[in-house]
């Protein structure tokens, strides 16, 4: 596996928000798979589309391997990681465009984009799509920091990052995860909206 510099970095505060959002929706992915037939290839394509935007080399490698093991063609994976959606089945296209939009906006999509997903896929598959996006966003955030740390050790540090940032982000993963789980339970009890929009 060849590491490369990522497309973007997320702040410590953003990393917590991304973890919190993932905790809030993770359960919907399993439900969408078990009860509503959301296929594993569809999920992998969503995750690859998000990873392409964020440019996480570690996640690209891991999800390429998973996709190949699940029977996806290398050509299809290469297209997705190149940002090319021209070959994607019509049913999946809207979801992959939304996945790219979600990653581009750092988890703050437009309300119109989310409403289009709900209209296209219905509530249950839409929540599965959202969960898949948010889960891989967590992987990207921490994979980017870990990749930057490894490159730093190899003498190829990224000017946008620092050793302090990389170590702090990696060390906060466990405590942030525990806090995010409790926070997400509280959010469920008081019925906070699942999606925050960026329509300003």
Q: Is residue 101 scored above 80 in pLDDT?
A: yes
Residues 75-91 have a mean pLDDT of: 80
Q: Is residue 83 scored above 90 in pLDDT?
A: no
Largest CA distance in the chain: 49
Predicted local confidence at residue 15, as pLDDT = 97
End-to-end CA distance of the chain: 40
Instruction: Give the CATH number, domain containing residue 161.
Output: 1.20.1290.10
**How does the average pLDDT of the chain come out, rounded?**
92
For 36-117, list the strands marked E by DSSP: none
Q: How many domains does the chain have?
A: 1
Q: Is residue 2 scored above 80 in pLDDT?
A: no
Residue 98 lies in a domain: yes
Q: With residue 53 as reference, give the H or E element that holds it.
A: helix 40-54
Predicted local confidence at residue 1, as pLDDT = 64
Query: What is the DSSP code (8-state) at residue 50?
Result: H
CA atoms in the 13 A half-sphere facing the CB of 82: 11
Q: Is residue 200 scored above 70 in pLDDT?
A: no
Which pair of tokens denotes residue 112?
Answer: 């119109």
159-165's contacts with Cβ under 8 Å and 24+ in sequence apart are: 160/9, 161/9, 165/9, 165/12
Which pair of tokens denotes residue 61?
Answer: 């490698």
- CA dist., res. 177 & res. 74, Å (int): 33
Closest CA to 85 of 49, 55, 128, 125: 49
Q: Is residue 133 scored above 70 in pLDDT?
A: yes
Return the higher-pLDDT residue of 141 and 56.
Answer: 141
Residue 30 lies in a domain: yes
Residues 23-43 have a mean pLDDT of: 94
Residue 197 lies in a domain: no
pTM of the complete model beyond 0.85: yes
> Domain residues for 19?
12-189
Residues 170-175 have a mean pLDDT of: 96
Residue 177 lies in a domain: yes
Residue 4 lies in a domain: no
- CA dist., res. 76 & res. 74, Å (int): 5
């Amino acid at each position: 596996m060849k590491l490369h510099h990522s497309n973007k970095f997320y702040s410590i505060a953003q990393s917590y928000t991304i973890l919190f959002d993932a905790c809030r929706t993770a359960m919907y992915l399993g439900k969408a798979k078990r009860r509503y037939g959301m296929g594993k290839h569809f999920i992998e394509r969503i995750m690859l589309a998000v990873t392409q935007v964020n440019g996480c080399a570690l996640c690209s490698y891991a999800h390429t391997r998973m996709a190949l093991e699940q029977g996806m063609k290398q050509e299809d994976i290469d297209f997705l990681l190149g940002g090319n959606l021209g070959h994607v089945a019509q049913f999946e296209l809207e979801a992959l465009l939304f996945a790219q939009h979600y990653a581009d906006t750092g988890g703050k999509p437009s309300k119109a984009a989310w409403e289009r997903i709900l209209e296209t896929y219905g509530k249950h598959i839409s929540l599965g799509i959202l969960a898949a996006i948010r889960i891989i966003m967590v992987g990207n955030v921490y994979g980017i920091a870990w990749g930057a740390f490894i490159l730093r050790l190899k003498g190829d540090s990224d000017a946008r990052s620092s050793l302090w940032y990389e170590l702090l982000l990696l060390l906060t993963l466990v405590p942030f995860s525990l806090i995010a789980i409790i926070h997400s339970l509280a959010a469920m009890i008081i019925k906070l909206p699942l999606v925050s929009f960026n329509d300003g």
